[in-house]
Structure 1
Amino acid sequence: MKLLPVLLPLVLTMSCSTPEKPVYLFSYFNGNGDGLHLAYSEDGKEWQALGNDSVYLRPEIGKDKLMRDPSIVQDEEGVFHMVWTTGWWDQGIGYASSRDLKNWSAQQNIPVMEKFEGTKNAWAPELFYDKKDKTFYIFWASTIPGAFPEVPTSESEKGLNHRMYYVTTKDFKNFSDTRLYFEPGFSVIDCAILEKGGRYYMFLKNENSNPPEKNIRLTVSDKPFDFPVEVSAPITGNYWAEGPAPLLVGDSVYVYFDKYTEKQYGAVRSADLKNWEDVSDQVTFPKGIRHGTAFEVSRKIFDNLK
Structure 2
Amino acid sequence: MVAAPPAALAANTAYVFAYFTETPNMTGANYGLHLAVSQDGLNWSPLNQNNPVVTPTAGTLGLRDPFILRKQDGTFVVLATDLNGTDFGQNNQYLHVWDSTNLTSFTGYRRIRMHGLNTHTWAPTAFWDAARGQYGIVYSANNGVDVFMVNYTSDFRTVSTNQVYFSPGFPVLDGDIVVDGATFYLYYKNLSTGLLYGARSTTGAPNSYTTYTSGLRQGNSMEAPLLVRNNEGNGWRLWGDSFSPVNNDFYAWSSSNVGSNSWTVLNQRTYTPPLNAKHGSIAGITSTEYNALVTRWGLPSWTRLKSSNFPDRYVRHANSIGRIDAYPMEPYQDQMWRMVPGLADPAGVSFESVNYPGRYLRHSNYAIRLDANDNTATFRADATFYRVAGLADAAWSSFRSYNVPDRYLRHANYLLRIDPLSASASATDRQDATFRVTP
Short-chain TM bin: 0.7 to 0.9
Match of 1:246 in 2: 227
Work out which structure has the larger RCO, using CA pairs closer than 8 Å and 6 or more positions apart in sequence: 1
Structure with greater strand percent: 2
1:128 is the counterpart of 2:133: no
Match of 2:383 in 1: none
Counterpart mapping for 1:74-153 below 5 A: 74-87=70-83, 88=88, 89=90, 90-114=92-116, 116=117, 119-131=118-130, 133-144=132-143, 147=144
Q: Is the 8 A contact 1:215 1:239 kept in 2?
A: no
Q: How far apart, CA to CA, are the structure 2 residues paired with 1:179 and 1:215?
A: 25
- Greater CA deviation, 81-90 or 224-233? 224-233
One-letter code aligned to 2:195: N
Change (3 A) 1:229 1:248: closer
Q: How far apart, CA to CA, are the structure 2 residues paired with 1:166 and 1:190?
A: 13
**Among residues 211, 216, 220, which one is paired with 2:196 in the alignment?**
216
Match of 1:275 in 2: 262
SS at match of 1:121: coil
Q: Report % sequence identity.
A: 23
1:23-72 Cα distance to aligned partner (Å, 9 max, x none): 1111111135521111111112211212221211112222x322110001
SS at match of 1:107: strand
1:160-197 Cα distance to aligned partner (Å, 9 max, x none): x4111010111123321100010011110111112223
Question: Following TM superposition, by how much is the alpha carbon of 1:220 offset from its aligned partner in structure 2, in angstroms?
Answer: 0.9
Q: Is the 8 A contact 1:192 1:202 kept in 2?
A: yes
Match of 1:236 in 2: 217
Q: How far apart, CA to CA, are the structure 2 residues paired with 1:259 and 1:41?
A: 21
1:46 is the counterpart of 2:43: yes
SS at match of 1:52: helix
Q: Any runs of at least 4 consecutive aligned residues in structure 1 with deviations exceeding 6 A, and if so which?
A: none
Change (3 A) 1:264 1:176: same
Give the superposed CA RMSD.
1.9
Match of 2:290 in 1: 302
Report how many aligned residue pairs link the two structures.
265
One-letter code aligned to 1:42: Q
1:179 is the counterpart of 2:167: no
One-letter code aligned to 1:77: D
Change (3 A) 1:71 1:280: farther
Structure 2's unaligned 5+ residue stretches are 1-9, 23-28, 295-439
Q: How far apart, CA to CA, are the structure 2 residues paired with 1:137 and 1:21?
A: 23
Match of 2:319 in 1: none
Q: Is the 8 A contact 1:246 1:253 kept in 2?
A: yes
Change (3 A) 1:53 1:133: same
Match of 2:25 in 1: none
Match of 2:280 in 1: 292
One-letter code aligned to 1:140: Y
Match of 1:15 in 2: none
> TM-score with structure 2 length normalisation?
0.57
